[in-house]
Chain A
């Protein structure tokens, strides 16, 4: 676990000082057989804690960024459990308004009367209000003066469920990006979801390739092509996306192996290939 931030610090996004930020996108792709939640959780920790120095030298102090996490794949309880394993108390940072969870999973199709707690739920019945709901969450997180890191999990399930088309999702992201510093989006990249002439495959291809072109960095999580191993869960590759970032290279390309213990929840080890 302790090695994870050191190896992935190359592009945390959390380093970027607020004065120089403009919307930047980081794409996290994963195959069907792998799970990228652990990487999104790493970005949450990196953004909130930001133990590392700034990339821009001493003139700009490292900033701790609040996080707005929009998920269509998991409920808050799942992430809370994972964070607990790594020693981060989610409830504490939620009460401090440093972490706002927008739940698009629990009540997507079930219209229950809104509860009294401050959770934000997205429902497919009133998707026209989603933009305002997420935007107000961003503004709430921004109250401290620092634009938050915006994380989307499982947005591609929206076009698979027929709630939005791929282009509508991209527009949704685009509109929200303007209010936040860094956006991180997860998308599925398995060949089985991209090949073929079905509408589903074409939409997913449009979605994935559009995100690759908009992203400054792409983190690809995949399982080992050589089969299963006891001490390695999969590989992660960091490459540049299609969006030029700065005059100099910020994204360090690399490839690592990782190991998820405890049934894919919590403890993660990231290590260079062949170095366990």
Chain B
């Protein structure tokens, strides 16, 4: 849990590189506030170049964030090729950078992958918003067995964040009866729910659900109530199964369970982080003892 929120914070501050971060949103809850959070967190960070590729954000509308290192590129009238050239021009070397794309919706489905791949660079994170539902991107190509553009994006992405309205925003029954598209009150709020999925290089996926608030710039991990219920339910089931099975007592009492949760696991400190995502503890200290035969001049003797 702690690790997941640490990971997301490090992604936001561009300390970790995830080649393609895909934000999926719906008309009810925009992902733009979360996209702006990337700018907000890197405003004062030296050495991080932020490039904003705008398809639907008018120029000047980002001024209030007050980020001077932000490079805004209006892409409405540019071809994919011209956009790639501009980005390459602005990022000549292997500079640490964030490339933000406010919407992939305007790019034709067939060109989507060829638009994205040249923007993926070794030390930059590409953050792109993919709007759902989008019939053009989700429909299957007619002439082939290839997957839809939305599916291809999900294959390519190393981090997928679904941006959902807070559970408090509910669709009224009366609203549904009026036979028209209607945003519920509370839509597109600055508070939203994030379903986070990160694929590590090893192939392991890390998941988590967060509550994000743009007003306070905070991320809070939400304990999934369903899994919590399941786990407590499963222990009860286990206890019932183990009861009277043998003469040994194999179950755990409530007191034992609480005590087990309180056990301080080793290396927990190493996983803690400050707000910026930097580790605060966990250095390895090796103290030599009398029996250690350590030769300072031998380079292969290093205990680490």
Contacts and interface: CB of A to CB of B under 8 A. Distances in A.
Interface of A: 22-24, 29-31, 167, 171, 174-175, 177-178, 189-192, 194, 202, 205-206, 208-210, 212-214, 218, 220, 222-226, 237, 239-247, 249, 253-255
Contacts of A253: 185-186
A239 to B, nearest CB: 4
The list of the 3 closest CB pairs from A to B, nearest first, reads A22-B60, A242-B30, A31-B180
Contacts of B142: none
Contacts of A220: 180-183
Nearest to A177: B58
Contacts of B179: 31, 190-192, 225
Contact of A206 (B103, B136, B175, B188): B136
Contact of A23 (B61, B135, B189): B61
B63 interface: yes
Contacts of A243: 30, 32, 56-57, 61
A239 B60 contact: no
Contacts of A175: 76
B27 interface: yes
Given A213-B27, A242-B32, A243-B32, A225 B56 contact: no
A239 B178 contact: no
A191 B175 CA distance: 12
A178 B32 contact: no
A133 B6 CA distance: 54
B64 interface: yes
A23 B56 contact: no
Contact of B188 (A30, A191, A242): A242
Contacts of A189: 180-182
B64 A214 contact: no
B192 to A, nearest CB: 12
A237 B182 contact: yes
Contact of B178 (A167, A202, A225): A225
Interface of B: 25, 27, 30, 32-33, 36, 56-61, 63-65, 76, 103, 105-106, 131, 133-136, 174-175, 177-190, 214
A8 to B, nearest CB: 16
Contacts of B65: 247
B61 A209 contact: no
Please classify the interface of chain B as helix (H, G, I), strand (E, B), loop, or mixed, using the class held by over half of its residues: loop
23 contacts: A22-B59, A22-B61, A23-B58, A23-B60, A24-B61, A31-B178, A174-B76, A178-B58, A189-B182, A190-B181, A206-B134, A209-B133, A210-B105, A214-B56, A237-B185, A239-B186, A240-B189, A242-B32, A243-B56, A244-B32, A244-B61, A249-B190, A253-B185
Contacts of B27: 209, 212-213, 242
A239 B131 contact: no
Nearest to B187: A239
Contacts of B187: 239-240
A30 to B, nearest CB: 8
Contacts of A209: 27, 131, 133-134
Nearest to B178: A225
Contacts of B76: 171, 174-175
Contacts of A223: 178
A59 B23 CA distance: 39
A213 B103 contact: yes
B148 to A, nearest CB: 14
A125 B182 CA distance: 35
B32 A218 contact: no
Given A214-B56, A243-B61, A208 B181 contact: yes
Contacts of B30: 213, 241-244
A225 B183 contact: no
Contacts of A240: 183, 187-189
Contacts of B175: 225
Count chain A CB atoms within 10 A of each CB in B56, B57, B105, B181 and give the residue with the most. Answer: B181
B56 A213 contact: yes
Nearest to B30: A242
A177 B228 CA distance: 50
Nearest to B185: A253
B64 A29 contact: no
A222 B177 contact: no
Contact of B180 (A191, A214, A245, A255): A191
B24 to A, nearest CB: 13
A202 B136 CA distance: 9
B106 A167 contact: yes
Contacts of B133: 205, 209
A205 B135 contact: yes
A240 B189 CA distance: 7
Contacts of A191: 179-181
B180 A22 contact: no
Given A240-B187, A244-B214, 17 more contacts: A22-B59, A23-B61, A24-B58, A167-B106, A171-B76, A189-B182, A194-B181, A209-B131, A210-B105, A223-B178, A240-B183, A241-B30, A243-B61, A244-B32, A244-B190, A246-B64, A254-B185
